[in-house]
Amino acid sequence: MSEIGAAEPWAIRETGVPEDDELRQRESVFALANGHIGLRGNLDEPELCGMPGTYLNSLYEERDVSYPEAGYAFPERTQTVVDAPNAKPVTLTVGGERFDVRTGTVRRHERVLDLRRGTLVREVEWTSPAGVDVWLRSERLVSFARPSVAAFRWTVRADAPLRVESDLRVNEEPPEARDDPRASAVIRAPFEPVAHDRDVLVHRTRRSGITVAAAVAHTGADGTAQAEPDLLRWTAEGHGELRFDKMVAYRWDGGEDVRGAALRERDAAASAGFDALADEQCRVLAEFWSGADVEIDGDPEVQQAVRFGLFHVLQAGALSVPGPVPAKGLTGNGYDGHTLWDTEIYVLPVLTYTHPEYAERALRWRHHTLDHARDRARELGLDGAAFAWRTITGPECSGYWPAGTAGLHVNADIAGAVLRYHAATGDETFMREAGRELIDETARLWISVSHLDADGVAHVSGVTGPDEYSALMDDNVYTNLMAQQNLRAAALDEHSLEIADRIAIPFDERHGVHEQAAGFTRLEEWTFPGDRFPLMLHHPYLNLYRRQVVKQADLVLAMLMRGDAFTAEQKRRNFDYYEARTVRDSSLSAPVQAVLAAEVGHLSLAHAYLAEAALLDLRGGGESGGDGLHIAACAGAWMALVMGFGGLRDSGGRLSFAPRLPPGLTRLRFRVRWRRARLTVTVTPGKVCYEASGDATTFHHEGTEVTVADGDTATFPLAPVADRPAPPSPRPPSPR
Amino acid sequence: MSEIGAAEPWAIRETGVPEDDELRQRESVFALANGHIGLRGNLDEPELCGMPGTYLNSLYEERDVSYPEAGYAFPERTQTVVDAPNAKPVTLTVGGERFDVRTGTVRRHERVLDLRRGTLVREVEWTSPAGVDVWLRSERLVSFARPSVAAFRWTVRADAPLRVESDLRVNEEPPEARDDPRASAVIRAPFEPVAHDRDVLVHRTRRSGITVAAAVAHTGADGTAQAEPDLLRWTAEGHGELRFDKMVAYRWDGGEDVRGAALRERDAAASAGFDALADEQCRVLAEFWSGADVEIDGDPEVQQAVRFGLFHVLQAGALSVPGPVPAKGLTGNGYDGHTLWDTEIYVLPVLTYTHPEYAERALRWRHHTLDHARDRARELGLDGAAFAWRTITGPECSGYWPAGTAGLHVNADIAGAVLRYHAATGDETFMREAGRELIDETARLWISVSHLDADGVAHVSGVTGPDEYSALMDDNVYTNLMAQQNLRAAALDEHSLEIADRIAIPFDERHGVHEQAAGFTRLEEWTFPGDRFPLMLHHPYLNLYRRQVVKQADLVLAMLMRGDAFTAEQKRRNFDYYEARTVRDSSLSAPVQAVLAAEVGHLSLAHAYLAEAALLDLRGGGESGGDGLHIAACAGAWMALVMGFGGLRDSGGRLSFAPRLPPGLTRLRFRVRWRRARLTVTVTPGKVCYEASGDATTFHHEGTEVTVADGDTATFPLAPVADRPAPPSPRPPSPR
């Protein structure tokens, strides 16, 4: 039995030994990653494992998929993340007894994820069944400064003979697959051995042909190493105390000498030593927090959780070269390790405003997949580029097209992320090398997929918006507004601008609300008869699609991303209408509902959705995040605070704020990078203060343009916003 | 090289040895069946085989299906027809040389399917590579009079030692699967042996657990029999001439002594002898043709083809006990041997008006699957019964729900077939025992799947109509009109009748045409840029669904089945509108287009569509029908003639005619059963004559009620109909 302790500002503390049914979730919470390497937070003893998990960004295996009834352009192959060589297992024997916290007496068991040090520390005091007292401390980090390196420090004390086996394991037997459509496929033994010696194992994935080298060094104790094709084992013995450091370096880039490169990185890390790596880690994090931290007074749990979320967004997105940011980051194998539109719409806003070079690299990765997207567009009978709904390296991996390939909005989402990045940074080099092409090619898609009707109205028919409880609808408002922005940004020709100007935005005059898609508000209502959530596990799509039931913010997301296209009155009415029909069966929903709730004045409701998003994986019940954290929800906590209560908007490339505080929060401070400046925004009851550093910054406060000089401050009274009561909802925010 | 010879009125004659790429289609054309047993028209020599095929109605194996991304209520198991013990192979050796028409010299090779005798006769004159002249004649029948029996007669003459091996083979290795989504799954070795001796093999399917006994007797020559678990082989030798008869009896009903029953049926057949069975066959067929024949003057090819089609409809539908009529009959394994809505909408009209007891048994089979349909409705969150889109014994076997399960119209189609059968026969026993429950339970489905909007209009949202190039649309006119009929026939309560009265029938005022479904006529047009057909093999559903492109008659089928719901002007305008958008990528389309073309006055076009449907498998090019005949198209030839040029309609249970003759046809005569009477209708230029026998008959001729007494005749002038030129079509009827 274990628990996540009371909220601390900069740490996540677990006390007690996690039970079997807690293991998977904790392994995700305590995962360490640096955008390239990800280690799930497994305990040192390999047998106490929910799901192993060492991931290398873009390391995948290919597999065939088949369909009971296939159709043209259904993907025949898919990509699945695989477990990389696992350097975590350490097996300890104390006086002949195996160290096993499920036996004997655990006097203390604590793990701490330190958000400023970027380390996971475990401390155990244990008395063995034979009565030997054992003290153990292990610490690990995945280096932000060294993209190829993970490091471990291990100390054990006991008045007895000690023996450790420290392993690097390949092709471990995976745990049983779970019966959940969102779970990953399991690929057994994905690697064939290429070479092995006492320093390094080299393997190649059997089908995707990716070569992986993992080099290991143990220092601080004498030991002996043995090597097998799928195992490197270092064994050391002692008495009273045994301590050692373990450095691991991975290289898995194609086409070069990965073995040599891994050995060089390992040697460099080993010669620097664990303490130096830990110092580097602190420095990187200090710089990150200085630009990204969000401070709040009045809700310590959310304060902790938003930093936890930002830390994991950093861990998922800290790219030193172009690469994807998967939906689960590098914390689990959920969604097969695929990257979806979450990246551009949820993760990249955070990175753009806190660490824009990471956003740039994620967008350059999308650009690297452009040829796949062009091929896919041709296959779909469309022009331009049709980016994959799910992928690791670019090819479409979605196996259910009505909620996959038909979600063409991913293309406008990518264009939108490019526009945001460009507006925030002014990075013309990126635009010239990648961004412009992304915008133009996706615009070509919209030209080919839209058509003007006899009245001159442009339509996009038969596509699926963000809400996956609807599919293949006409004129999804979110899709059409994002496509409009995409077309206008590309401005390819008169025809495309005409489509943008004339695109249908369905509005139901009777209810005075926008239709999520044409006809939506005339569908049958869902009656919520004692429903179990998520509905998709209890009801067929046939029944969901034909009704007014919304899995996740869709029209409400449109009001966030294209707030300029709605009046304040429309936003209020739309919010209430869709609130009554949204079940939040996706973790992508609460953050967006929080932002719009704040905008339309449901301040307490916004706070509740903020908390739901922020606490989802950290303090959510059950299996939440067990196969990987919801990185978009991690980012969503930032969105809810900065876009919700901070009121940050960037429609049309114009930075604006409309801050407000919910009852209970007494201070909100956040930082935003904009061009060469950093803007620090502090909201307190009755007052909002903007502080610029690095350069003068121009933005809008409550609709009025403001320029703050470098080093200067501008203070405004906080616009009074009455807290409107929450409208009816079929599933109010989770209570805390 | 072989060919189907010039049209003969009562026979299909093939001359020459079929090439490898002709084999599969000919095996379907020459298939013999009696509703229970089906034998593909394989040559005697087992090695000259496109696809083996011995089918027993409802003999199937179960298998798991998986999905790249599964959803709630996606079927996890499916049913697939399997090859029953194969009694066709006979291997002949002449003077030590194997009889093989791919070697030596074939002087004559002819096969004749005799539509009045119900036999397939093969005659071969062949000179072996060593110069021995061989004459061979084989004849086979599948007995309509004896549902368990097939019989073979074999004669060979040559001035040399002769040796034959006549086999019964089980678990034969199937040919390679083809790369076509419509092809069947292949199950290898589906049977486990239960018992074998020289008279009978007993096997059981491994998973579905169906026990099959096949008993064989050889008479007319002395031979020796050997038995293995998967093989019965009878060997005989002679010189100069060798002849024998082979009787096979199959039993595969669960729960009884199938071995004993098969042996008894075999013994009875053997003791009657081949000649007696052939006489029985002639008598059954004479009776069938006297009630079903359609005679035409002016188009001998269509004359032959409509009889060929009727013969195969009889072979598929000649049920002595309740059973399904699969889409391919018992002529191949296409669609996995599944039964679809084709049965109720295409096959049962023919059977109802020619051999109503077969229609009754097919409908009783549907009724037997009612518990599956009730369970499925619950699973889908609906009331009443949701019959399987594809099935063998009742469970849903559709693996792509947008074009399967979402085709809820199958339920109204079943109700419609019940109503037709009841109107035509007045069979109250059937209605009491099965028909009423079918109508009421399907009506309950429509109540639960429809909803009244704020204006009091009833809608059925998110379903798929007959056209599979659209899916998940709202208010498909065909579905809604069939549901309306279903609800009115059930008349369960006021609410359901209100739904029926208020059901939405989308109409586009701008074009003056009905919308196939809400919004259809506002979708983008398909531009047909050099298209290859079927479009579904070259374009994704994403692109098809969002455009005005129609795979198969849908709104046009609504105008046939619910002609009372349209004005004559609407029919004309609708026909032309949908003609321009229909690509006929389904064999279900041409018959319906033929009927409506005739109704709205495109007489030559109707004739062309009639020919296309009638000749599809018999004289169609390529692989058409290779994995089984298109039984609905076989029925469709009758529909095109009797409903098209005969103008037979039965909306609302009222029999009516509006005959017309296209240029080129000088006489049409057909028979219809109605209650206790047989009505013979003869249409000649300028005149139509109705002749009743068995009872007086009341019907409508051109809108006027007519009663013809038993044995009497009523003659009317043929209403003059000018042949309107064919409207534009993206794919005009196949030229002949």
Name the pLDDT band for A620 (thresholds 50, 70, 90).
Answer: confident
The answer to whether B639 and B609 are in contact (CB under 8 A) is: no
The percent helix, strand, coil of chain A (3-state, each to 5) is 35, 25, 40
The answer to whether A572 and B414 are in contact (CB under 8 A) is: no
DSSP B47: T
Please name the residue of chain A whose CA is at the shortest distance from the CA of residue B180.
A70
Q: Kindly report the three-state secondary structure assignment for every residue of A80-112.
A: EECCCCECCCEEEEECCEECCCCCCEEEEEEEE
Residues in binding site of A: 341-342, 551-552
Q: What does DSSP say about strands B60-64 and A54-56: parallel, antiparallel, or unpaired?
A: unpaired
CATH entry, A2-290, from 3.40.190.10, 2.70.98.40, 3.40.50.300, 1.10.1060.10:
2.70.98.40
Q: Which helix H or strand E contains B153, and what residues bound it? A: strand B149-169
B552 is in an annotated binding site: yes
Interface contact flag, B540 A379, Cβ < 8 Å: yes
Q: Residue A735 has what pLDDT? A: 83
* B575 conformational bin, left if phi > 0, alpha if psi -120 to 50, beta if neither: alpha
Interface contact flag, B399 A69, Cβ < 8 Å: yes
Cis amide prior to A534 (ω within 30 degrees): yes
Q: Residue B530 has what pLDDT? A: 74
Q: What is the rounded distance in angstroms from the CA atom of residue A208 to the CA atom of residue B380?
A: 40
Tens of pLDDT along A46-76? 999 999 999 999 999 999 999 999 999 999 9
Residue A492 CB neighbours (<10 A) = 16
Name the pLDDT band for B254 (thresholds 50, 70, 90).
Answer: low
Residue B491 CB neighbours (<10 A) = 13
**How far, CA to CA in Å, does B601 sit from each of B439, B590, B669?**
34, 16, 20
Q: Indicate which residues of B carry an active-site annotation.
A: 468
Q: What is the rounded distance in angstroms from the CA atom of residue A316 to the CA atom of residue A358?
A: 10
Q: Which of A61, A360, A468, A515 is catalytic?
A: A468
Q: Residue A62 has what pLDDT? A: 96
Tens of pLDDT along A477-504? 999 999 999 999 999 999 999 999 999 9
List the single residue in B66, B380, B474 with the smallest CB-CB distance to A519: B474
Tens of pLDDT along A579-599? 999 999 999 999 999 999 999
Q: Which helix H or strand E contains B675, and what residues bound it? A: none
Tens of pLDDT along A370-386? 999 999 999 999 999 99
Q: What is the rounded distance in angstroms from the CA atom of residue B394 to the CA atom of residue B396?
A: 6
Which chain A residues are Cβ-neighbours of B78 within 8 angstroms? 68
Q: Which helix H or strand E contains B440, and what residues bound it? A: helix B436-449
Residue spans in chain B of domains classed CATH 2.60.420.10: 294-325+614-736
> CB-hemisphere CA count at 13 Å for A246?
32
Q: What is the rounded distance in angstroms from the CA atom of residue A628 to the CA atom of residue A39?
A: 11
Q: How many angstroms separate the CA of residue B140 from the nearest CA in chain A?
A: 36
Q: What is the rounded distance in angstroms from the CA atom of residue B438 to the CA atom of residue B411?
A: 9
A185 has a pLDDT exceeding 80? no
Name the pLDDT band for B652 (thresholds 50, 70, 90).
Answer: confident
Which chain A residues are Cβ-neighbours of B449 within 8 angstroms? 546
Q: What is the rounded distance in angstroms from the CA atom of residue A365 to the CA atom of residue A421?
A: 14
The answer to whether B316 and B631 are in contact (CB under 8 A) is: yes
List the single residue in A69, A382, A472 with the smallest CB-CB distance to B400: A69
Q: Residue A183 has what pLDDT? A: 59
Q: Across residues B542-563, what is the average pLDDT?
A: 97
List the single residue in A181, A401, A454 with the smallest CB-CB distance to B71: A181
Long-range contacts for B373-376 (Cβ within 8 Å, ≥24 apart)? Answer: B373/B411, B373/B441, B374/B441
Q: How many angstroms separate the CA of residue B365 from the nearest CA in chain A?
A: 25
Interface contact flag, B462 A537, Cβ < 8 Å: no
Q: What does DSSP say about strands A547-548 and A524-525: parallel, antiparallel, or unpaired?
A: parallel
Q: Across residues A294-310, what is the average pLDDT?
A: 98
Amino acid identity at B659: P
Which chain A residues are Cβ-neighbours of B406 within 8 angstroms? 542
B638 is in an annotated binding site: no
Name the nearest CA neighbour of B182 among B349, B25, B334. B334
Mean pLDDT of chain A: 95
Phi and psi at residue A177, to the nearest 5°: -70, 145
Tens of pLDDT along A233-286? 999 999 999 999 999 999 997 667 999 999 999 999 999 999 999 999 999 999
The answer to whether A336 and A79 are in contact (CB under 8 A) is: yes
Q: What is the rounded distance in angstroms from the CA atom of residue A471 to the CA atom of residue A547?
A: 11
> CB-hemisphere CA count at 13 Å for B279?
6
Q: Residue B184 has what pLDDT? A: 63
Q: Which helix H or strand E contains A122, and what residues bound it? A: strand A119-127
Q: Across residues B198-202, what is the average pLDDT?
A: 97
B381 in helix, strand or coil? coil
> DSSP letters of B317-356?
H--SSS----TTTTS--GGGG-B-THIIIIIHHHHHHH-H
Give the distance, in angstroms, between the CA of residue B424 and the centroid of all CA atoms in the same chain. 21
Share of chain A above pLDDT 90, in %: 94
List Cβ neighbours of B714 (8 Å cut-off, separation of 6 or more).
Answer: B689, B690, B701, B706, B708
Q: Across residues B396-410, what is the average pLDDT?
A: 97
DSSP B369: T
Q: Across residues B351-373, what is the average pLDDT?
A: 98
Tens of pLDDT along B590-623? 999 999 999 999 999 999 999 999 999 998 776 7
Buried b or exposed e, range A437-469, using 16+ CB within 10 angstroms: ebbbbbbbbbbbbbbeeeeeebbbbbbbbbbbb
The answer to whether B513 and B569 are in contact (CB under 8 A) is: no
Tens of pLDDT along B414-471? 999 999 999 999 999 999 999 999 999 999 999 999 999 999 999 999 999 999 999 9
From A154-168, A524-538, B220-234, B681-695, the region with the lowest mean pLDDT: A524-538
Query: E strands along B581-650, which residues?
Result: none
Tokens of A600: 């339309």
Q: Residue B231 has what pLDDT? A: 97
Which among B72, B390, B455, B515 is the top mutation candidate for probing chain A, defined by the most A β-carbons within 10 Å of its own β-carbon? B72
Q: Residue B176 has what pLDDT? A: 66
A184 has a pLDDT exceeding 80? no
Q: Which helix H or strand E contains A210, and what residues bound it? A: none
Name the pLDDT band for B174 (thresholds 50, 70, 90).
Answer: confident
CATH entry, B294-325+614-736, from 2.40.10.10, 2.60.420.10, 3.40.50.2300, 2.40.50.140:
2.60.420.10
Which chain B residues are Cβ-neighbours of A537 within 8 angstroms? 72
Q: Residue A177 has what pLDDT? A: 59
Q: Residue B180 has what pLDDT? A: 59
Share of chain B above pLDDT 70, in %: 98
Name the pLDDT band for B653 (thresholds 50, 70, 90).
Answer: confident
Q: Across residues A23-42, what is the average pLDDT?
A: 97
Tokens of B332: 């191949």
Give the distance, in angstroms, between the CA of residue A386 and the centroid of all CA atoms in the same chain. 22
Name the pLDDT band for B171 (thresholds 50, 70, 90).
Answer: very high
Q: What is the rounded distance in angstroms from the CA atom of residue B234 to the CA atom of residue B221?
A: 11
Q: Which helix H or strand E contains A194, and what residues bound it? A: strand A191-196
The answer to whether B557 and B473 are in contact (CB under 8 A) is: no
Name the pLDDT band for B528 (thresholds 50, 70, 90).
Answer: confident
Buried b or exposed e, range A229-252, using 16+ CB within 10 angstroms: ebbbbbebebeeebebbbbbbbbb
Beta bridge partners of A452: A458
Which among B447, B449, B515, B542 is the top mutation candidate for probing chain A, defined by the most A β-carbons within 10 Å of its own β-carbon? B542
Q: Across residues B37-49, what is the average pLDDT?
A: 95
* A75 conformational bin, left if phi > 0, alpha if psi -120 to 50, beta if neither: beta
Interface contact flag, B461 A523, Cβ < 8 Å: yes
B240 has a pLDDT exceeding 90? yes
Q: How many angstroms separate the CA of residue A378 from the nearest CA in chain B?
A: 10
Residue spans in chain B of domains classed CATH 2.70.98.40: 2-290
A71 in helix, strand or coil? coil
Beta bridge partners of B265: none
Tokens of B607: 């004739």
Q: Residue B185 has what pLDDT? A: 67
Whose structure tokens read 């959310």?
A302
Tokens of A697: 């910054």
DSSP A550: B
Q: At what angle do helices A494-502 and A477-490 cross, to 10 degrees?
A: 150
Residue A138 CB neighbours (<10 A) = 21
Which among B64, B67, B69 is the top mutation candidate for probing chain A, defined by the most A β-carbons within 10 Å of its own β-carbon? B69
B182 has a pLDDT exceeding 60? no
Tens of pLDDT along B657-704? 999 999 999 999 999 999 999 999 999 999 999 999 999 999 999 999
What number is the ipTM of this complex?
0.93
List the single residue in A73, A461, A540 with the smallest CB-CB distance to B523: A461
Interface contact flag, A71 B519, Cβ < 8 Å: no
Give the distance, in angstroms, between the CA of residue B454 and the centroid of all CA atoms in the same chain. 43
Tens of pLDDT along B300-333? 999 999 999 999 999 999 999 999 999 999 999 9
From A453-462, A528-537, A703-712, A723-732, the region with the lowest mean pLDDT: A528-537
Helices and strands counted in chain A (H then E): 19, 32
B534 in helix, strand or coil? coil
Tens of pLDDT along B66-122? 999 999 999 999 999 999 999 999 999 999 999 999 999 999 999 999 999 999 999
Q: What does DSSP say about strands B37-39 and B32-33: parallel, antiparallel, or unpaired?
A: antiparallel
Interface contact flag, A472 B474, Cβ < 8 Å: no
Interface contact flag, A72 B537, Cβ < 8 Å: yes
| Alpha helices, DSSP H, located in A355-435 | 356-368, 370-379, 409-425, 428-430
